[in-house]
Amino acid sequence: MRTSLVVGNWKMNGSRAANRALLESMRKEMEAGVVAEVAVCPPFVYLADMESLLQGSVINWGAQNLSHHEMGAYTGEIAPSMLADLGCRFVIIGHSERRTLYGETDSLVAEKAIAAQKVDIIPIICVGETLQEREQNITEQVVERQLNAVLQLAGVNALKKAVIAYEPIWAIGTGRTATPEQAQEVHAFIRGHVAVQNSGIAEELLVLYGGSVKGSNAAQLLAMPDIDGGLIGGASLNAKEFLTICQAAV
């Protein structure tokens, strides 16, 4: 039995004051009762505030990226152990914005996922196709290639303590969502691909959907059998919308 997970990716948004206000209203709403596991991923510089803002709440926190290096002369980078130091439970890895804007490759994404696990942080590994790839009918090949980078580097056991987020790039921040059936098809493919190597790990693996999820479409998406929660961008910046999504995930 998989427990749902909803993660807010704040991207490069927020300020100390705005984060405080957002989290205060989220906490108030969540205390009314949310069964799904919930996390928010603010920009690095606000992670240190999360401990005090979220102490005693049901909301976990995580980062949006990390370095695959342990420590050292890597100006501007953040080491996995630093995120652990700040209480991060999760880290988003290989978001399409990192892949397309910052040139992150499948193999770098895989190295980052393993680096996170070494310090007991759960990587949320993002996979997904472009619109052009969907139109060429190669969605499954693309997702398989992205997954295989992790499987080849560390074996299927690496997915025991990892989360996969299927995020079709054409649906991220565009207002265009995959239909529940389109998303379910890819989620089932991902689980099936892992099941070929280990059916137990596949059965336990959380596969989140991301791409223009909002309060109004969350329930249909999250009702699909292989969709175990959501990775939420824009809608995670609005307490009411985010709560509606979290409630739909239960």
Instruction: Work out whether 233 is an interface residue with ligand PEP (CB under 6 A).
Output: yes
Catalytic residue among 95, 104, 133, 241: 95
Supply the minimum distance, in Å, between the C-beta of residue 28 and ligand PEP: 23
Q: Does 232 bind ligand PEP (CB under 6 A)?
A: yes
Who contacts 246 (Cβ-Cβ below 8 Å, separation ≥6)? 6, 30, 34, 36, 38
Among 231, 243, 245, 249, binds ligand PEP (CB under 6 A): 231
Instruction: Give catalytic status of residue 68 as yes or no.
Output: no
> Smallest gap, in angstroms, from Cβ of residue 52 to ligand PEP?
26
Nearer to ligand PEP, 9 or 79 (CB): 9
Q: Is 193 a catalytic residue?
A: no
Residue 9 annotated as binding site: yes
Among 14, 128, 168, 211, binds ligand PEP (CB under 6 A): 211
Instruction: Give the C-alpha separation, 41 to 23, whole Å.
Output: 12
- Count Cβ atoms within 10 A of the Cβ of residue 22 and give its class: 0-12 exposed, 13-18 middle, 19 or more buried: buried
- 11 appears as a binding residue in the annotation: yes
Contact map string, positions 6 to 45, toward ligand PEP, x by CB under 6 A: ---x------------------------------------
Q: Does 104 bind ligand PEP (CB under 6 A)?
A: no
Considering only residues 104, 234, 243, 246, which one is a binding residue for ligand PEP as defined by CB under 6 A? 234
Residues sharing a CB contact under 8 Å with residue 69, sequence separation 6 or more, in sequence order: 77, 79, 115
Binding to ligand PEP (CB under 6 A) within 140-179 occurs at 167, 172-173
Distance CA 187, CA 221 (A): 11
Strands 37-41 and 229-232: unpaired
* Binding-site annotation: residue ranges: 9-11, 173, 212, 233-234
Just list the catalytic residues.
95, 167
